[in-house]
Amino acid sequence: MDIFGNFAKFRGDKDKRKVREYSDIEFSYSELATEAIDKVEEKSHLGFTSHLKLLSVLVFTALVLRLFVIQVVSGSANQKLAEGNRIRPRIIEANRGLILDKNGVSLAQNSPSFALAVYPSDLPKKKTDRLAIYQKIADLTSLPVDQIRTDAEKNGLSSLDEIIISDNISHDDALLLEQKINGLPGAYVATKSIRQYVSGSGMAHILGYTGIVSTDDIKNFPNYYLSDRIGKTGLESQYESALRGTHGVEQIEVDSKGNITRVLVDNSNKEPVSGDNLVLNVEFGLQQATSTALLNGMAAGTKQSGQSVTSGIAIVMNVQTGAILSMVSQPSYDNNLFSTKISQADYSKLTSDPTLPLFDRAIAGVYPPGSIVKIVMASAGLQEGTITANTSMVTPAAIKLGEYNFPDWKDHSYESTDIERAIAESNDIFFYAVGGGFDKIKGLGIDRIKKYWQLFGLGEKTGIDLPGEAAGLLPDNAWKMKTQNTPWYIGDTYHVSIGQGDLLVTPIQMLRATATIANGGKLLEPQLVNRIVDHSGTTVKEFDPRIERTNFISDSVIKIVQQGMRQAIVSGSVRSILADFPIPVAGKTGTAQFMNNAKTHAWFECYAPYDNPQIAVIVLVEGGGEGFDIAGPVAKDIMTYYFAQK
């Protein structure tokens, strides 16, 4: 006779099973106690039988009272435990924030999609039954069984987290799949969204992409779920906290197979909140024009050098605010490949490509700057008094130091040269003298040169709002002794004074150095995002111009360097490209040798208008040849588009 039946019926079938389990345990203890007493009686032959029987009654009564406490007094808690097995929270995914250009053009948005997912806790506990389910899923998706098993069980079989097995399923395929998996414990079709990006125009390095959270991501973001996507690179990563949004939650009731039977009305249910949108300083039309101009320049470099030119960078910056208006690194890639689980074939193709399409050269590539660094050298020499506006000299074709020869890139020995003309014609001999000393010019020396490199922001990250930025390299005596175990020589100073030797910079660093000359001496922090707005359009955060350093170069020095850069356009090294441009431009060419002087990078930096600076442009064509006839035309095409829109 089941004396606990009435309690069990009141608590439900699951509770009844629990009561039966408890009662079986309690009765087994009672039987053992009675058996022990009987044995004592038999062995003792004493006359205390009645007392022992009384003791056994007391023990039995205590056990009954204990069971009463478990079943009745603690019954409410046990009922909640039982309900935990059939009621669970279901996450409602929040829409990720959009990424828009300065005019509201959508660059990254969300597209509805579906995914095949499993709840590990609802999968059969018996291994053979689970494997049968994995095989069924494999037959439906063409995915390897081992991969399905690994994904499903990566967080343990007790996990309540949703695990995505296959994503980017169309609506029609999702309806069909839902029918085919009907009755499979733990498997279901989930409603999701995937990221869609504007492809081409070099936007991938700016926007980045998202991916399923990894184990390392969970360590850094413990409130994320295994089915969540997180920004991996670019702005998607940099502004993850703003873009993500807040997931909603609803309580659902499921049957023994994990099938949803109903959605419960519960105070803990919450609606999802969409992530905030990013509005960029980038203008997509200018980005397209920048990309086209750069690709044309790379093609011209291929034609000139006779070798394939596959890489280049072009960036446009507002010289008054630091806003990045366009930024292209080529080659690029299609970040839509990462919107779902990228195939191994596609991923291997990207990572094994020798041109490194995933690498953002604009902020992470380091290069010898060549002659474009001469605007920094000129500023340093004038500011330190090593030279003045009136310092002039007749420069020889080369400087000889013992067995070493330091030539000019062309013969400028026919007449006297001052600093403005040295900038305009990129006179190497004059800048050898400014840096290391020659004739009547004493020279700065490497320590003072490095001081001004640093003041202009070289050798450090610019702070642009993207992950993965490089710092470059500023060599000096201490560095050379540490890395090469040899002292610094005057020849080393000569080399770095014209942007060669061991000096390495990033394109974004040289762009803001150019902007610093253009705006009168303000070193600005580059900024891609203009403001963050919520889903209703209300501004959450606005990014004002950030001045990192100012007043380190006098106005008179800035003016002299500006005039030298203007002469470079009017009568100097790039006059054939931009002398007739309708907007007055100031600029500087650069041709940097690398690979043991076997090849040269083509550089060009400029700003415009000369008399009222608005934008600065930096162009680098890797292995492209001469700066004036490869990189210069790229900048011209970019400025043609920009000022036509104005």
Burial of 502 (0-12, 13-18, 19+ CB in 10 A): middle
Please indicate, yes or no, if residue 356 is contained in any of the structural domains. Answer: no
What is the pLDDT confidence band of residue 265, given thresholds at 50, 70 and 90?
Answer: confident
pLDDT for residue 75: 56
**Boundary (domain end) residue, out of 49, 84, 119:** 84
Contact 578, 568 (CB under 8 A): no
Please indicate, yes or no, if residue 350 is contained in any of the structural domains. Answer: no
- CATH assignment of the domain containing 261: 3.90.1310.10
Mean pLDDT calculated for residue range 636-641 = 98
Please indicate, yes or no, if residue 552 is contained in any of the structural domains. Answer: yes
What is the pLDDT confidence band of residue 597, given thresholds at 50, 70 and 90?
Answer: low
Q: Are residues 596 and 624 in the same domain?
A: yes
pTM of the model: 0.83
Please indicate, yes or no, if residue 344 is contained in any of the structural domains. Answer: no
Rounded distance between C-alpha atoms, residue 209 and residue 465, angstroms: 15
DSSP state, residue 472: -
Q: Are residues 136 and 180 in the same domain?
A: yes
Please indicate, yes or no, if residue 520 is contained in any of the structural domains. Answer: yes
Q: CA nearest 422: which of 458, 450, 381, 457?
A: 381
Q: Are residues 388 and 525 in the same domain?
A: yes
170-186 pLDDT tens trace: 888 888 988 888 888 88
Residue in the structure block whose two tokens are 């409602």: 92
State what percent of residues in the chain have pLDDT above 70.
Answer: 86
Q: How does the average pLDDT of the chain come out, rounded? A: 87
More confident residue, 343 or 72: 343
The answer, yes or no, to whether residue 32 has pLDDT greater than 50, is no
- Give the DSSP per-residue string, 515-558: HHHHTTS-EEPPBSEEEEE-TTS-EEEE----EEE-SSS-HHHH
365-420 pLDDT tens trace: 999 999 999 999 999 999 999 999 999 999 999 999 989 999 998 888 888 999 99
Structural domain harbouring 73: 5-84
Angle at 113 between CA 110 and CA 114, to 5 degrees: 145
Q: Are residues 382 and 459 in the same domain?
A: yes
Q: Are residues 71 and 93 in the same domain?
A: no
Q: Are residues 518 and 413 in the same domain?
A: yes
634, two tokens: 């790229």
The answer, yes or no, to whether residue 487 has pLDDT greater than 50, is yes
Q: Are residues 99 and 53 in the same domain?
A: no
Rounded distance between C-alpha atoms, residue 53 and residue 163, angstroms: 60
More confident residue, 297 or 4: 297
Q: Are residues 402 and 516 in the same domain?
A: yes
pLDDT for residue 19: 35
Rounded distance between C-alpha atoms, residue 549 and residue 524, angstroms: 7
**Boundary (domain end) residue, out of 258, 280, 302:** 280
What is the pLDDT confidence band of residue 446, given thresholds at 50, 70 and 90?
Answer: very high
Mean pLDDT calculated for residue range 155-179 = 85
**How many other β-carbons are positioned within 10 Å of the β-carbon of residue 285?**
16
Rounded distance between C-alpha atoms, residue 245 and residue 247, angstroms: 7
pLDDT for residue 11: 37
Q: Are residues 292 and 265 in the same domain?
A: no
Q: Are residues 259 and 397 in the same domain?
A: no
What is the pLDDT confidence band of residue 317, given thresholds at 50, 70 and 90?
Answer: very high
- Buried b / exposed e over 596-634, threshold 16 CB at 10 Å, is eeebbbbbbbbbbbbeebbbbbbbbbbbbbbbbbbbbbb
- CATH assignment of the domain containing 588: 3.40.710.10
Q: CA nearest 441: which of 485, 399, 499?
A: 399
What is the count of structural domains for the chain? 3
Rounded distance between C-alpha atoms, residue 368 and residue 503, angstroms: 6
The answer, yes or no, to whether residue 43 has pLDDT greater than 70, is no
SS3 category, 475: coil
Please indicate, yes or no, if residue 361 is contained in any of the structural domains. Answer: no
Q: Are residues 307 and 161 in the same domain?
A: no
Q: Are residues 293 and 263 in the same domain?
A: no
Contact 120, 155 (CB under 8 A): yes
Please indicate, yes or no, if residue 353 is contained in any of the structural domains. Answer: no
The answer, yes or no, to whether residue 421 has pLDDT greater than 60, is yes
SS3 category, 411: coil
Contact 463, 526 (CB under 8 A): yes
**Boundary (domain end) residue, out of 84, 113, 132:** 84
Please indicate, yes or no, if residue 512 is contained in any of the structural domains. Answer: yes
SS3 category, 340: coil
| Candidate from 102-116, 210-224, 244-258 with smallest mean pLDDT | 244-258
Q: Cα–Cα distances in Å, from 246 out to 216, 272, 276, 427?
A: 21, 6, 10, 59
464, two tokens: 């642009």
Rounded distance between C-alpha atoms, residue 364 and residue 152, angstroms: 37
